[in-house]
Amino acid sequence: MESCRYVFQISGIKRRDKKRPLVQGIQQLGGKYIGGSVYQHASTHLIVPQVLSSEKFLAACAAGKWVLTPDYVLDSVKNGSWLSEGLYEVTFTTGSTAAFHPARQWREKVASGRVTGAFQGWSVLLMVQEPTRRAMFKRLLKAGRAEVYNCPPPSYASITHVMAKPITENSKSHNAPCYPVSHIVQHLFGSNCVDMNFLLADAHPAEERCFDDADISNLETELKNYALKQAGRPRLCFLEFLCYSDPYHTQSQASETDFTNVGTMIDCGLFIEALDSIWSSVFPGLLPPATYLISLLEYAQQGDATSVFLRNFQQVMYTLLVNNPPWLSSSSQKYFTQVLQCPKCKTGLWPFLETSIRYCLSSGATCHPLPSPALPTLLHFHCDILSLVLRLFQGELHSVTARDFVLLQGTGVSSGSVSGSLLYRTFWTVWERTTLLSSAVKQLTQLLVQAAVMDYAEGGEKQKLHLADTLLDLLSVLVEFWWQQHFKLNPNLVEKGLKDLSMYFAVISQDVSPLVLVELVVRVRSTRLKLGVADAIFMNLCCRNGFTVGDEPLSLKKMVLSYLPALGSLAQSPNGTSLRNGPTTHSCTSNGTISCRTQNSLVKETSSEKENTPRGLNRINAAGETLLHRACKRNQVETVLQILALPGTDVNVKDHAGWTPLHEACNHGSSECVKALLQHYPAPVLNNQVGGVSPLHDALLNGHMDIAIMLLEHAGSVLLQQIDGEGRVPLELVPMSNQREELLRSAQTGDLALRNKGTEVLNLPLLEAGSSLLSHLIFSYHQEKGLPRHTHFADKPHSLCSKLVRALEMHSSQKVTKGWTDQRAVRLVEDAETLLELSRGKHQGLLCQAVKECKGENTQFLMEILEDLRSRGKMLVADL
């Protein structure tokens, strides 16, 4: 196709207003643009404003590619089709005024078939100490079709050139001519390179010079400040509270009203008349005696009141709330505290709310007996009470956000504190205020799960109550309120609090249908709460269906590398296995992942299980190694099989350094243990990296070809795309070509097996639930913790995002974040790197074919989101 003939890179054009028309023109004419400052061999054309000393320019010349000026694209757009390239080749005028075309000679030689590249036939021993520059020279030499080896070279290699920087006695000791790296430019351009003033040997290329170590050091601070600012900003905004009356600045209010007749009416049983009298006397700053409203509330709960009375009572309470906001007046707060509690028990606001919730759920566990069976009018009345209290709490959150909360007088509370608020007093005792997951919050979460099942899974009158939505909004307000109060004091505390709540939610909802849980996640208003709950539910869903994911904090990298492969496992789960049969309990392992075990296995073990439990199972040594780690190091396959047969075994458990049992088995050549681990269900995670070392890298670095073959036959060619800390893919660790070919054949075998295995979706509802959760995760993550955006058009080249991408164009994320202490900043760097990798087509093999071809609505939407992520990665590079 024509689009395959025009693949462009751009070099030396940094201004966005100059670069963007070129990119748009390329795409308009059906061409393809590849971003980045690293040369890509797939490119066919390079656009440069002039002769450069950049990697892309030199590599394109060495490879015989078209090197053209920007006018080629602009004139082609005007023409409506691609023009002939010859007139647009970049030129350099030498001292003799003769036009010199630096790329033409090699392009013509490659096009005629005389050579495949400028360095054809070279076998180069590259001895450059600095890793980033060594990688750059390696790409440059390979572009010209040279064979490049690191020191020491393999025995079979016949070295023709030694390229060194600096040149030392060691570099001269090999049986081949030794050259400085400047010889690359001299070979490409001959004597003209003197006039062209190339400084390749003595300085970084132009694109590499734009980011130095000082910038990287400053980058951590900037990213940390950005992450803190993002996490601390308010999420829920309630603009309707801006119009609520301020009792200290009221325009019209009654000074005094005689409510004596109201008390007489109540004593005579004239409740409707009493309520009407109160309603007609409600003004800003004027509150009827609380005892009267308490009596009317008690009458409403008895079940004898008409629907009109119940509706009017709610209207009176709303009017009182609007005219006398309790968050603006300590007297109003005391008033609502007195009224909003059970008229009989008088035990506070939370028991009152709990009673209303349980009555709507037809639960008998109320503070005192209420009319049964539940009357429709009373059901709606209690739901309206919950909505009223939610409104009150939303107002308190709004006031805290706006910083106009009025302190209770005489409480001794320090200025700036809102510990006397109704929210605090309702859901946290004095001893619970350092944790989000208080006793009342736990109870609310349990009731929310019950309400979700009732609202989303049942029909009838109760479904019209929308009880789950109200409780979900209430939980969102609690999370945002508690977060705002504690984030500045201890960010780690609030992160842990939200994680604890999310994990608790996932555990208590394990027997709920995934479809109900997805519907609940969709309705969460707080993106902060949605992110935590969706993550915990997705992890639990994977665990219940035999796929283990890591316990590291949520990041875009984790979602791509761990959660996308998990979708394949969900799709292949036998139909009907989304829920475990029988009662289950849950425990959290030491690393935070959910471990699902049947209740019987937790309560008591059979004698046979005890006999099969190896000694030292629960003993962890000083390095954090479990018995499974130690058995894999020693190739004790019988012990490994015993451990894997035990329920709840975490096959991906990590020691203190982050190494998994699979890492240890690959490192020590324990092939039988590797085989046992790969046959275990769920299979271990093969893309875990420690310092850039994956299990496949570990096997190859230690010469265990048999293990490398097993890994590739199990997971396919996706493992060959992994890059270690020095930027090497696994095949670069293999010295012999026949070994590389054997590994490639093993990867093809693995790909074929995976395609044959994953061509059919066996459990569409489960896959759809997982796809919906992952879609909401990615979307909420982008809102909550996404990369910084450009603020002004002119600031884009100097924006934080541009600095971050330029750093990653020059260095790996490991090097950029080396020595960093703030994990939020590290996560942002890894997220940016993941976006760039997605934009270049990496990680495409993580999704099995069944998921890619699924016609489910949620799964197709997830595919669109992934495509949007790739586009964002391309935009990051295009904006440089």
> Tell me: the pLDDT tens digits for 800-843?
887 888 788 777 788 788 888 888 888 998 898 888 888 877 77
pLDDT of residue 576: 55
pLDDT of residue 427: 92
Q: Is the pLDDT of residue 654 over 80?
A: yes
State the residue range of the domain holding 127.
123-196
Q: Single out the residue in 166, 196, 226 at which a domain terminates.
A: 196
Residues 63 and 154 in one domain: no
pLDDT of residue 848: 80
Structure tokens at 844: 């495409």
Cβ within 8 Å of residue 778, ≥6 positions away: 556, 559, 865, 869
Distance (Å) of CA 443 to CA 78, 450, 511, 698:
68, 11, 17, 48
Least confident of 90-104, 327-341, 553-567: 90-104
Whole-angstrom Cα distance, residue 596 to residue 266? 57
pLDDT of residue 141: 92
pLDDT, tens digit, for every residue of 725-752?
777 888 888 888 888 889 999 988 887 8
pLDDT of residue 652: 84
pLDDT of residue 414: 37
Q: Is the pLDDT of residue 34 over 50?
A: yes
Whole-angstrom Cα distance, residue 808 to residue 318? 55
Length of the chain measured in residues: 880
pLDDT of residue 259: 72
Q: Is the pLDDT of residue 246 over 80?
A: no
Which is higher by pLDDT, 416 or 194?
194
Answer whether residue 638 is part of any domain: no
Number of domains the chain is built from: 2
Query: Would you list the DSSP string of 84-99?
Result: PSGGGB--EE-TT--E
Answer whether residue 72 is part of any domain: yes
What band does 201 get if pLDDT is binned at 50, 70 and 90? very low
Query: Would you list the DSSP string of 358-384?
Result: HHHTT-S-SSS---SSPPHHHHHHHHH
Q: Single out the residue in 170, 196, 222 at which a domain terminates.
A: 196
The DSSP bridge partners found for residue 93 are 99
pLDDT of residue 239: 66
Whether 354 and 285 have beta carbons less than 8 Å apart is answered as no
Q: Which position has the token pair 């590619």?
A: 65
Query: Of the candidates 817, 816, 815, 810, which has an alpha carbon nearest to the alpha carbon of residue 208?
Result: 810
Of the ranges 396-405, 556-565, 766-775, 786-795, which is most confident?
Answer: 766-775
Average pLDDT over residues 90-104: 65
Query: Of the candidates 645, 644, 638, which has an alpha carbon nearest to the alpha carbon of residue 606?
Result: 645
Q: Is the pLDDT of residue 629 over 80?
A: yes
Q: Is the pLDDT of residue 51 over 60?
A: yes
Q: Is the pLDDT of residue 618 over 80?
A: no
Residues 72 and 132 in one domain: no
Least confident of 61-70, 144-153, 448-457, 580-589: 580-589
Residues 83 and 137 in one domain: no
Of the ranges 324-338, 552-566, 768-782, which is most confident?
Answer: 768-782
Q: Single out the residue in 112, 141, 174 at which a domain terminates.
A: 112
Q: Is the pLDDT of residue 66 over 90?
A: yes
Number of helical H runs and strand E runs in the chain: 39, 12
Answer whether residue 41 is part of any domain: yes
What band does 488 get if pLDDT is binned at 50, 70 and 90? confident
Whole-angstrom Cα distance, residue 774 to residue 531? 10
Of the ranges 33-37, 346-350, 687-691, which is most confident?
Answer: 346-350
pLDDT, tens digit, for every residue of 297-310?
888 888 888 888 99
What band does 756 get if pLDDT is binned at 50, 70 and 90? low
pLDDT, tens digit, for every residue of 128-143?
877 778 888 889 999 9
Which is higher by pLDDT, 546 or 313?
313
What band does 69 get if pLDDT is binned at 50, 70 and 90? very high
Structure tokens at 4: 């395959």
Distance (Å) of CA 229 to CA 90, 217, 239, 253, 630:
47, 19, 22, 42, 44
Whole-angstrom Cα distance, residue 774 to residue 521? 11
pLDDT, tens digit, for every residue of 136-176?
888 999 999 999 988 778 777 788 988 887 777 776 777 78
Nearest 5°: phi and psi at 832?
-65, -40
Answer whether residue 35 is part of any domain: yes
Whether 452 and 533 have beta carbons less than 8 Å apart is answered as no
Q: Count Cβ atoms within 10 A of the Cβ of residue 753 and give its class: 0-12 exposed, 13-18 middle, 19 or more buried.
A: middle
Residues 87 and 49 in one domain: yes
Q: Is the pLDDT of residue 530 over 90?
A: yes
What band does 605 get if pLDDT is binned at 50, 70 and 90? very low
Whole-angstrom Cα distance, residue 713 to residue 709? 6
Q: Provide the pairing of β-strand 99-100 with 161-165.
A: unpaired
Using only the alpha carbons of the chain, give its radius of gyration.
Answer: 34
Residues 8 and 69 in one domain: yes
Q: Count Cβ atoms within 10 A of the Cβ of residue 661 and give its class: 0-12 exposed, 13-18 middle, 19 or more buried.
A: buried
Q: Which long-range contacts (CB under 8 A, 24 or more apart) does 240-248 make?
A: 241/325, 241/394, 241/395, 241/398, 241/399, 244/322, 244/325, 244/328, 244/395, 245/284, 245/322, 245/323, 245/324, 245/325, 246/325, 246/328, 247/284, 247/285, 247/324, 247/325, 247/328, 247/329, 247/332, 248/328
Answer whether residue 18 is part of any domain: yes
Q: Which position has the token pair 């803190």?
A: 228
pLDDT of residue 879: 57
In 3-state terms, what secondary structure has residue 13?
A: coil
Least confident of 6-20, 628-642, 677-691: 677-691
pLDDT above 90 covers a percentage of the chain that reads 20
Answer whether residue 146 is part of any domain: yes
Whole-angstrom Cα distance, residue 67 to residue 108? 12
Residues 16 and 103 in one domain: yes
Answer whether residue 134 is part of any domain: yes
pLDDT of residue 597: 35
Of the ranges 118-127, 241-250, 256-265, which is most confident?
Answer: 118-127
pLDDT of residue 243: 60
Average pLDDT, the chain: 80
pLDDT of residue 721: 80
What band does 67 get if pLDDT is binned at 50, 70 and 90? very high
Whether 672 and 663 have beta carbons less than 8 Å apart is answered as no
Whether 579 and 493 have beta carbons less than 8 Å apart is answered as no
Using CA atoms of 693, 694, 697, 699 in order, give the dihedral in degrees to the nearest 10: 120
Amino acid at 242: L
Whole-angstrom Cα distance, residue 482 to residue 433? 9
Measure CA 437 to chain center.
23
Average pLDDT over residues 417-437: 82
pLDDT of residue 588: 36
Residues 141 and 45 in one domain: no
Whether 352 and 458 have beta carbons less than 8 Å apart is answered as no
Residues 98 and 130 in one domain: no
Q: Is the pLDDT of residue 364 over 70?
A: no
pLDDT of residue 607: 42
What band does 418 get if pLDDT is binned at 50, 70 and 90? low
Q: Is the pLDDT of residue 595 over 60?
A: no
Query: Of the candidates 459, 438, 456, 436, which has an alpha carbon nearest to the alpha carbon of residue 448?
Result: 456
pLDDT of residue 1: 37
pLDDT, tens digit, for every residue of 470-481?
999 999 999 999
Query: What CATH number is associated with residue 55?
Result: 3.40.50.10190
pLDDT of residue 48: 92
Whole-angstrom Cα distance, residue 293 to residue 109? 96
Q: Is the pLDDT of residue 689 over 50?
A: yes
Q: Is the pLDDT of residue 789 over 70?
A: no
Task: Please calculate the CA angle 654-658-664 and round it to the nearest 5 degrees.
Answer: 70
Answer whether residue 556 is part of any domain: no
Average pLDDT over residues 475-490: 88
pLDDT of residue 178: 86
Using CA atoms of 263, 268, 270, 276 in order, give the dihedral in degrees to the nearest 10: -20
Average pLDDT over residues 177-187: 84
List the strands of the sheet with 66-68, edge to edge.
32-33, 7-10, 45-47, 66-68
Cβ within 8 Å of residue 369, ≥6 positions away: none
Whole-angstrom Cα distance, residue 620 to residue 339? 56
